[in-house]
Amino acid sequence: MPNHVFIVKDMTCQGCAGKIRSALEAHDYILNFKIDVEKKLVSASSDSDWHFIANLIREAGYTPESIKKKKGLFGKLFG
């Protein structure tokens, strides 16, 4: 099951995290998620695609951005 990771720069407090949490909890097909307000990160495990989860975060009033994971030595050096 894919884990989708987003940076949400306009998530600034626990209240913001609560709104995103409510949006994600409302859908059964999002099995696990983690919200880190300090790092402004949201990760969600789901069979749903990235765009669906991003739309849930947008509907909660926030702006998710993609985080590309760098793989391997060249990704770390040149990513």
What's the predicted TM-score (pTM) here? 0.82
pLDDT digits (tens, 9 = 90+) for 38-78: 999 999 999 989 999 999 999 999 999 988 655 555 544 44
The closest of 70, 50, 61 to 5, measured between CA atoms, is: 50
Q: Pull the structure tokens for residue 4.
A: 């989708």
pLDDT tens, residue by residue, 7-50: 999 999 999 999 999 999 999 889 899 999 999 999 999 998 99
Q: In 3-state terms, what secondary structure has residue 5?
A: strand
Place of tokens 């926030």: 62
Domains of the chain, each with CATH number or no CATH: 3-78 (3.30.70.100)
Distance CA 43, CA 61 (A): 17
